[in-house]
């Protein structure tokens, strides 16, 4: 066993943040071959039970759950910051050309390593990530994540139409490749597979149907895609699938809405779409820096909470502008505040943090597995320095409540505040 004494940020079952100013975190090797949390809470209460365990004392530091990025494209590191008139020109001019390079497995391996290095630097310990349409891009990311002992979910992009040849796949082969990748990787160590139709406009009816068949055959595999991001995209999707009630309903009509399905964006929804998300236990990955950068619109946090469907935060790099959860939480606050096109709400910092940790885990169907410091959870946690920069030290020192402390971190924090990252499956 190992123990750390520091401040602890964790969440109870209803999502309320709990802060132990003087806390104790104890981890031990778990039954599945990676470390798990044995105890997390108040130091004075817990210390007698673990008096014999080697202890690291980190005064002034905060232990927090590793962040979860609910939607990110590892092949798009070379696309960040590419300006375009909107989603569709951005895909055509920057994204598809960058993804075409992943036909080369060496390029995929290089970028997979860089991607996981960057996630770690920013305190992200789990991601639901897109690969490209090339199966070798999936092998590259899974191999790299496995070596690091990470819990990571990815899948081969399905896109058999309306895509340049270098990234387009072939319907039947794409489904065979998907099933082979599920069998090769899903459930190996901490890895999980996601069936990944890129978005309805890039998939034929037959490809979506095949994806839905696989989703039914492998119910504990994830599903990820995009929906209702941009008005031009929505018009296009509706024209291609005129029999579906809405863009979201296209996925439902093909068996692609269920638990463990995560749709990025979900901006331009009506009340029926929101009700369908809730009924199907399907989750939204909210991508505020991407939506601001590409001019896509503002996710309606108030309507999502009222409708009661699962949602959490995501970077959507390379449409998104940063892998930093601090930047994503700040943008989420600003997008939620926007009150001209929808109701503006002021999300508490504790809620923003939850949406990027325990709430994101719940969206993945992984509550109690990752995203929290609680007994039984995988031991994925980060050590934060609330005095990482002079101004952050000053503002966090002035905080009179947990809310003020976390908001100072969200607004002023960045990778400099992430002192170290502990991954449950890491060797040594
Ligand atoms: N829709 C289809 N593909 C993509 C993508 O790569 N990024 C974003 N933001 N939206 C998409
Ligand atoms: Zn995306």
| Sheet with 17-29: strands ordered across | 35-42, 17-29, 2-11, 55-65, 381-384, 418-422
> Are both 329 and 411 inside the same structural domain?
no
55, 80: one domain: no
How confident is the model at residue 425, as a pLDDT?
A: 87
Q: Are residues 255 and 268 in the same domain?
A: yes
Range of the domain at 389: 2-65+372-422
- Which residue is closest in CA terms to ligand 1's atom 3? 198
C-alpha dihedral, 187 to 145 to 134 to 313, nearest 10°: 90
pLDDT tens-digit readout, 360-386: 999 999 999 999 999 999 999 999 999
Domain shared by 283 and 157, yes or no: yes
* Gap between the Cα atoms of 243 and 104, Å rounded: 39
Q: Tell me which residue has tokens 């990110």.
A: 72
Residue with CA nearest ligand 1 atom 11: 226
Does ligand 1 come within 6 angstroms of the Cβ of 91?
yes
Domain match, 127 and 254 both: yes
68: which residues sit within 8 A by CB, 6+ positions away? 124, 125, 126, 127, 128, 312, 356, 357, 360, 361, 364, 370, 371
Note whether residue 308 is domain-resident: yes
Confidence label for 120 from pLDDT (cuts 50, 70 and 90): very high
pTM recorded for the entire structure: 0.99
Here the CATH number for the domain that contains residue 384 is: 2.30.40.10
What is the phi/psi pair of residue 89, to 5°? -65, -35
Q: Is 75 in the pocket of ligand 1 (CB under 6 A)?
A: no
For the segment 126-146, what is each residue's pLDDT rounded down to a tens digit? 999 999 999 999 999 999 999
Instruction: Determine if ligand 1 sits within 6 Å of the CB of residue 319.
Output: yes
If you write DSSP's letter for every residue of 123-186 in order, what string do you get? TEEEEEEE--SSHHHHHHHHHHHHHHT-EEEEEPEE--SSS-TTT---HHHHHHHHHHHHHHHT
pLDDT tens digits, one per residue of 10-67 = 999 999 999 999 999 999 999 999 999 999 999 999 999 999 999 999 999 999 999 9
Same domain, 240 and 124: yes
On whether both 19 and 95 belong to a single domain, the answer is no
Ligand 2 centroid–CA 141 distance in Å is 17
What's the CA-to-centroid distance between 413 and ligand 1, angstroms? 28
Which atom of ligand 1 is the closest one to the Cα of 130?
Answer: 6
Does 277 map to a domain?
A: yes
> Residue ranges of the alpha helices (H) in 283-324?
288-293, 301-307
| 3-class SS of residue 257 | coil
Instruction: State the distance from the centre of ligand 2 to the C-alpha of 198, rounded, in angstroms.
Output: 8
- Picking from 363, 383, 404, the residue at the C-terminal end of a domain is 363
Distance 381 CA to ligand 2 centre (A): 26
Residue 281: which pLDDT band, with cuts at 50, 70 and 90? very high
**Alpha carbons 202 and 169: distance in angstroms, whole number:** 10
Q: What is the largest CA-CA distance in the chain?
A: 66
**Domain for residue 97, yes or no?**
yes
Q: What is the atom index within ligand 1 of the atom nearest the CA of 316?
A: 9
Residue burial 270-292, b: 16+ Cβ < 10 Å; e: rest = eeebbebbeebebbbbbbbbbbb
428 located within any domain: no
Average pLDDT score over residue span 172-196: 99
Residue 400 forms part of a structural domain: yes
Beta bridge partners of 19: 9
Query: What's the domain count of the chain?
Result: 2
Ligand 1 touching residue 226 (CB < 6 A):
yes
pLDDT digits (tens, 9 = 90+) for 222-235: 999 999 999 999 99
φ, ψ (nearest 5 deg) of residue 331? -65, -35
Same-domain pairing of 347 and 398: no
| CA gap 210, 225 in Å, rounded | 15
Residue 111: pLDDT over 90: yes
Same domain for 85 and 128: yes
In a domain, 190, yes or no: yes
* pLDDT greater than 60 at residue 240: yes
Q: What length does the chain have?
A: 428
Average pLDDT on 138-157 reads: 98
Q: Is 226 helix (H, G, I), strand (E, B) or coil?
A: strand
Please measure the distance between the N-terminal and C-terminal CA atoms of the chain and give it in whole angstroms: 13
Among the candidates 338, 363, 388, a domain finishes at 363
Question: Residues lining ligand 2 (ion), CB within 5 A?
Answer: 264, 316
Determine the Cα–Cα distance for residues 222 and 217; give it in Å rounded to an integer: 12
Q: DSSP code of 255?
A: T
Statement: residue 427 has pLDDT above 80? no
- Ligand closest to the CA atom of residue 236: 1
Q: What is the pLDDT of residue 428?
A: 57
In a mutational test of the pocket of ligand 1, which residue from 226, 287, 292 has the highest number of ligand atoms less than 8 Å from its CB?
A: 226
Domain edge (last residue) among 344, 363, 382: 363
Q: Take residue 222 and report the two structure tokens written for it.
A: 């994830």
Q: Give the model confidence (pLDDT) of 74-97 as tens digits.
A: 999 999 999 999 999 999 999 999
Measured on CA atoms in the order 8, 324, 327, 198, is the torsion positive or negative? negative
Residue 245 covered by a domain: yes
Beta strand 17-29 pairing with 35-42: antiparallel
**Ligand 1 atom closest to 233 (CA):** 1
- Ligand 2 centroid–CA 422 distance in Å is 27
**Are 88 and 208 contained in the same domain?**
yes
Residue nearest to atom 9 of ligand 1 (CA): 319
CA of 226 to the centre of ligand 1 (A): 7
> What residues does 20 pair with on adjacent strands?
8
**Domain assignment of residue 410, yes or no:** yes
pLDDT > 90: percent of the chain = 99
Do 24 and 97 belong to one domain? no
- Mean per-residue pLDDT of the chain: 98
Distance (angstroms) between ligand 1 centre and the Cα of 112 equals 19
């Amino acid at each position: 066993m190992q123990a750390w004494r520091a401040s602890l940020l964790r969440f109870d079952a209803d999502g309320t943040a709990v802060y132990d100013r003087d806390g104790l975190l104890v981890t031990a090797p778990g039954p599945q071959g990676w470390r798990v949390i044995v105890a997390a809470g108040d130091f004075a209460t817990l210390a007698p039970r673990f008096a014999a365990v080697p202890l690291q004392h980190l005064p002034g530091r905060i232990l927090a759950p590793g962040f979860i990025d609910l939607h990110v494209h590892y092949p798009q590191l070379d696309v960040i910051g590419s300006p375009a008139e909107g989603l569709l020109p951005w895909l055509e001019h920057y994204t598809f050309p960058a993804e075409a390079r992943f036909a080369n497995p060496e390029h995929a391996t290089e970028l997979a390593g860089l991607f996981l290095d960057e996630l770690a630097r920013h305190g992200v310990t789990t991601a639901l990530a897109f690969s490209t349409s090339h199966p070798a891009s999936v092998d590259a990311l899974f191999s790299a994540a496995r070596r690091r002992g990470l819990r990571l979910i990815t899948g081969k992009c399905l896109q058999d139409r309306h895509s340049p040849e270098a990234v387009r796949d072939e319907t039947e082969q794409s489904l065979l490749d998907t099933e082979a990748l599920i069998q090769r990787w899903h459930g190996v160590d901490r890895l999980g597979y996601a069936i990944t139709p890129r978005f309805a406009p890039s998939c034929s009816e037959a490809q979506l149907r095949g994806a839905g068949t696989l989703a039914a055959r492998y119910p504990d595999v994830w599903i990820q895609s995009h929906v209702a991001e941009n008005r031009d995209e929505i018009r296009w999707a509706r024209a291609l699938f005129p029999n579906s009630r809405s863009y979201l309903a296209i996925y439902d009509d093909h068996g692609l809405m269920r638990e463990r399905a995560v749709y990025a964006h979900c901006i331009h929804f009506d009340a029926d779409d929101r009700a369908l998300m809730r009924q199907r236990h399907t989750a939204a990955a909210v991508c505020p820096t991407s939506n601001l950068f590409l001019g896509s619109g503002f996710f309606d946090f108030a309507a999502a909470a009222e409708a009661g469907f699962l949602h959490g935060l995501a970077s959507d790099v390379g449409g998104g502008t940063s892998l930093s959860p601090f930047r994503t939480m700040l943008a989420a606050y600003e997008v939620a505040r926007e009150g001209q096109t929808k109701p503006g709400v002021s999300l508490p910092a504790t809620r923003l943090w939850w949406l990027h940790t325990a709430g994101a885990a719940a969206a993945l169907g992984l509550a109690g597995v990752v995203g929290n410091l609680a007994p039984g959870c995988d031991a994925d946690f980060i050590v934060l320095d609330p005095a990482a920069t002079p101004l952050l030290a000053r503002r966090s020192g002035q905080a009179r409540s947990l809310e003020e402390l976390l908001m100072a971190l969200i607004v002023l924090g960045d990778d400099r505040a992430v002192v170290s990252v502990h991954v449950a499956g890491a060797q040594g």
